Structure 1
Amino acid sequence: MTDNAQPHGSIDVLDFPGADDLIAAGRVEPPSSRVVEAALAQVSAGLVVVPLEAPRRKPSRSRRLLVAAAAVAAIAAGAVAYPVIGVGESRPPASASAAEFLNRMAATAAGASETDAPYWKVHVEVDNEDDRQRRSTSWFDREGHLWSRNLDGSIEKPSPGSKLKAWPVGDRFLTWKQLESLPTAPDALERRLGDDAFGKASALLQDAPLAPEVRAALFRIMARTEGVKLIGQVEDTKGRKGTAVEFTGRPGWMEDPATGKRTIFPSRTTRLVIDPESGKLLESYDTAKGMPDSRSTYLEVGPVDRVG
Structure 2
Amino acid sequence: MSPYDDVEQTGMGTHGAKESGMDERATLLDFPGADELMAAGQVGEPSAQALSGALARVGTAAAAEAAGRGTGDVAATPVRRLSARRRVLVGMFTAAAVAAGAVTYANAGAGSAAPTGTGTRGETRAAGAGVFLNDMSTVAASQSATTGKYWKTHTKAGDTYLSQSMDFYVMNDGKAYKKGRRPDWQFGPKNVDWKGLDQLTTDPAKLLQLLRTPAKTNDIAPFDQATALLGDTPASPKLRAGVFKAMAGLKGVRLVGAVKDSTGRGGTALEFQEARSLGRVTVDPKTSAILEYTFTWTSGPSKGKVTHDTILSMGFTDRIG
Match of 1:94 among 111, 122, 134: 111
2:305 matched to which residue of 1? 292
1:202 matched to which residue of 2? 227
Q: Distance in 1 between matches of 2:194 and 2:260?
A: 30
Query: Which portions of structure 1, spanning 4 or more consecutive aligned residues, are displaced by more than 4 angstroms?
Result: 40-46
**CA RMSD of superposed structures (Å):** 2.4
Gaps of 5+ in 1: 1-39, 47-91, 126-134, 252-265
Matches within 5 A, 1:148-167: 148-150=170-172, 152-157=173-178, 162-167=180-185
1:176 to 2:198 alignment? no
**Paired residues, number:** 195
**CA shift digits 1:53-111 (9 cap, x unpaired):** xxxxxxxxxxxxxxxxxxxxxxxxxxxxxxxxxxxxxxx95122111111000011111
Match of 1:226 among 251, 258, 274: 251
CA deviation after TM superposition for structure 1 residue 197, in Å: 2.3
- Residues 204 and 103 of structure 1: is their aligned pair in 2 closer, same or farther, counting only changes over 3 Å? same
Q: Which TM-score applies when normalising by structure 2? A: 0.56
- Please identify which structure carries the higher strand content: 1
2:319 matched to which residue of 1? 306
Higher relative contact order (CA 8 A, sep 6+): 1
- Please identify which structure carries the higher helix content: 2
Matches within 5 A, 1:198-277: 198-249=223-274, 251=275, 266=276, 268-277=277-286
Gaps of 5+ in 2: 1-37, 45-108, 114-127, 215-220
CA deviation after TM superposition for structure 1 residue 41, in Å: 9.9
Using the aligned pairs only, state the percent identity.
35
Note if contact 1:140-1:165 (Cα within 8 Å) is conserved in structure 2.
no
Note if contact 1:139-1:147 (Cα within 8 Å) is conserved in structure 2.
yes
1:189 to 2:207 alignment? yes
Report the secondary structure of 1:205's partner residue.
Answer: helix
Matches within 5 A, 1:41-190: 44=42, 94-96=111-113, 97-125=128-156, 135-150=157-172, 152-157=173-178, 162-190=180-208
- Residues 214 and 42 of structure 1: is their aligned pair in 2 closer, same or farther, counting only changes over 3 Å? closer
1:282 to 2:291 alignment? yes
Q: Distance in 1 between matches of 2:40 and 2:197?
A: 45
- Counterpart amino acid of 2:231? Q
Q: Which TM-score applies when normalising by structure 1? A: 0.58
Q: Distance in 2 between matches of 1:165 and 1:177?
A: 13
- Counterpart amino acid of 2:203? A
